């Protein structure tokens, strides 16, 4: 059985879809949410929207029933990341992320403090995932920062570190999924994958893409999809087409 299905036997295809709310205003984001809330699993709020509209806006979406992946990629000293992560949990988000390159103390402390606060304050514990190497980075970018390994070795090193620190998973390019699944033993380890393009969509600026069904077959648990849905003339239809693609065996 494919590893993502083994990890997530009850997930309906729609629950795998996380729509990236890469828009500049709360009004635009709310209207996409209102249009798609029953049709997809979750929504991603990233740096642009968060910087424009802030935590109150995130709380407002959560209160409207949204499952939110807060994509702020925390990277700072362990104390600061742990405290910021506790505040993300208090916002009620379903998932958020940190940079694995912040190291094991940062990740371990974050996982522990989030778990403690959630238990003490009866908050549903958000999934904590890590970014390994940004897909905008390549060997030269890594070399500039003193990392002489190949990109894939660094991705796998950081994925293994993330798992060892007790985090729930990683964000990974579609092309990294298979190697990560092979190098992290736990089938509960989540892989969240952007760079997804349905078979009928344009690539925009994404260079290394896979279709939704291919990424799930490789072992992705969740797919982050932005423009193929948000820029579609009929967003519902775009989502339905993706769900149909996901429901067919490949
Ligand atoms: O519109 P599109 O489907 O390309 O959006 C993908 C989303 O995933 C964007 O929010 C983008 O920032 C994010 N992302 C990505 N590649 C990564 C990490 C995040 O495209 N490696």
**What average pLDDT is seen over the chain?**
94
Rounded CA separation 26/54 (Å):
9
User: What CATH number corresponds to the domain at position 187?
Assistant: 3.20.20.70
**Is residue 176 assigned to a domain?**
yes
**Is residue 94 assigned to a domain?**
yes
Query: In testing the pocket of ligand 1, which one of 224, 227, 230 has its CB within 8 Å of the most ligand atoms?
Result: 224
**Number of folded domains that form the chain:** 1
**Is residue 13 assigned to a domain?**
yes
- Find the mean pLDDT for residues 57-82: 98
Rounded CA separation 238/209 (Å):
17
- Tens of pLDDT, residue by residue over 178-237, are 999 999 999 999 999 999 999 888 888 887 789 999 999 999 999 999 999 999 999 999
**Is residue 76 assigned to a domain?**
yes
How many alpha carbons fall within 13 Å on the CB side of residue 65? 8
- Looking at the predicted structure, is the pLDDT value of residue 143 above 50? yes
pLDDT for res 205: 84
**Is residue 9 assigned to a domain?**
yes
Rounded to the nearest whole angstrom, what is the distance from the C-alpha of residue 189 to the centroid of ligand 1? Answer: 20
- Looking at the predicted structure, is the pLDDT value of residue 115 above 80? yes
Pocket of ligand 1 (CB under 6 A): 20, 22, 46, 134-135, 171, 173, 194-195, 204, 206, 224-228
Domain ranges, residue 74: 3-245
pLDDT for res 8: 53
**Is residue 54 assigned to a domain?**
yes
* Ligand 1: nearest atom to the Cα of 231: 1
Measuring from atom 10 of ligand 1, which residue has the nearest CA? 20
Please identify every residue annotated as catalytic: 73
**Is residue 250 assigned to a domain?**
no
**Is residue 42 assigned to a domain?**
yes
Whole-model pTM: value is 0.94
How many alpha carbons fall within 13 Å on the CB side of residue 173? 17
Under 8 Å CB-to-CB from 130, ≥6 apart: which residues? 97, 98, 99, 100, 107, 158, 162, 167, 169, 170, 171
Rounded to the nearest whole angstrom, what is the distance from the C-alpha of residue 226 to the centroid of ligand 1? Answer: 7
């Amino acid at each position: 059985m494919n590893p993502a299905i083994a990890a997530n036997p009850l997930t309906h295809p729609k629950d795998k879809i996380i729509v990236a709310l890469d828009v500049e205003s709360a009004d635009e984001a709310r209207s996409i949410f209102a249009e798609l809330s029953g049709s997809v699993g979750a929504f991603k709020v990233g740096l642009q929207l968060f910087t424009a509209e802030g935590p109150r806006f995130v709380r407002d979406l959560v209160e409207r029933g949204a499952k939110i992946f807060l994509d702020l990629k925390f990277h700072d000293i362990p104390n600061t990341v742990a405290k910021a992560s506790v505040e993300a949990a208090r916002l009620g988000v379903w998932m958020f992320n940190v940079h694995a390159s912040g190291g094991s103390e940062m990740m371990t402390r974050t996982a522990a403090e989030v778990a403690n606060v959630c238990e003490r304050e009866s908050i549903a514990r958000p999934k904590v995932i890590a970014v390994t190497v940004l897909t905008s980075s390549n060997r030269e970018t890594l070399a500039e920062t003193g990392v002489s390994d190949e990109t894939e070795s660094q991705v796998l090193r950081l994925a293994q570190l993330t798992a060892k620190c007790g985090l729930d998973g990683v964000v990974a390019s579609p092309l990294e999924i298979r190697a990560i699944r092979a190098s992290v033993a736990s089938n509960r380890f989540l892989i969240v994958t952007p760079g997804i393009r349905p078979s009928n969509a344009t690539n925009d600026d994404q260079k290394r893409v896979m279709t939704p069904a291919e990424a799930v077959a490789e072992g992705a648990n969740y797919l982050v999809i932005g423009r193929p849905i948000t820029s579609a003339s009929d967003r519902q239809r775009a989502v339905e087409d993706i769900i149909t693609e996901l429901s067919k065996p490949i």
